[in-house]
Amino acid sequence: MTGMRNTTVLLLATVLFSACERRTPAPPAPAAAPLPASTVTGRVSYLQRIALADEAIITVAVTDVTTGQRLAEQVIPSQGKQPPISFQVDYDSAKVRPGDDYAVSARITLRNQTVFASDTPYLVITKGRPTQVDILVKSPNN
């Protein structure tokens, strides 16, 4: 009977000690993967050796080439800035469809007349393309 009593006491002690055991909290779940960049950045420049007028306006747009819809744009008053002009176009990444093609373009206007514009599509965002580009704009008269 003593053997059974020792076994019962040992079993109860084990249960009590395990209930008092200090448990460490589970490690936090890994953070979700960050969303893809939702900004296209770069610089707009031209080759002509002329100063940009203070009242010129630089417009940089990101367009879905597949549908023709504009995803976003940034309008930058030159206010004395000279090329290269930095830009940062923020867009809603939820509106990006991975199978579509997106291009960034730029134009410089002066009194509502285009004086420089990009004539080459600069593909960005999807299919492993960059989100940072330098855009060369040209005079539409050339």
Average pLDDT per run of 10 along the chain, which is 142 residues long?
47 44 52 62 96 96 96 96 96 94 97 95 95 96 72
> Who contacts 118 (Cβ-Cβ below 8 Å, separation ≥6)?
105, 106, 107, 135, 136, 137, 138
Strand residues in 8-130 grouped as ranges (E): 39-45, 57-64, 70-77, 85-90, 102-110, 113-117, 122-124
> Who contacts 110 (Cβ-Cβ below 8 Å, separation ≥6)?
53, 55, 56, 57
Q: What pLDDT shows up at residue 142? A: 65
Please state, in angstroms and rounded to a whole number, the distance separating the CA atoms of residues 83 and 60. 14
Best CA proximity match to 105, nearest among 52, 63, 49: 63
Q: Which residue has the tokens 């003593």?
A: 2
Q: What pLDDT shows up at residue 2? A: 53
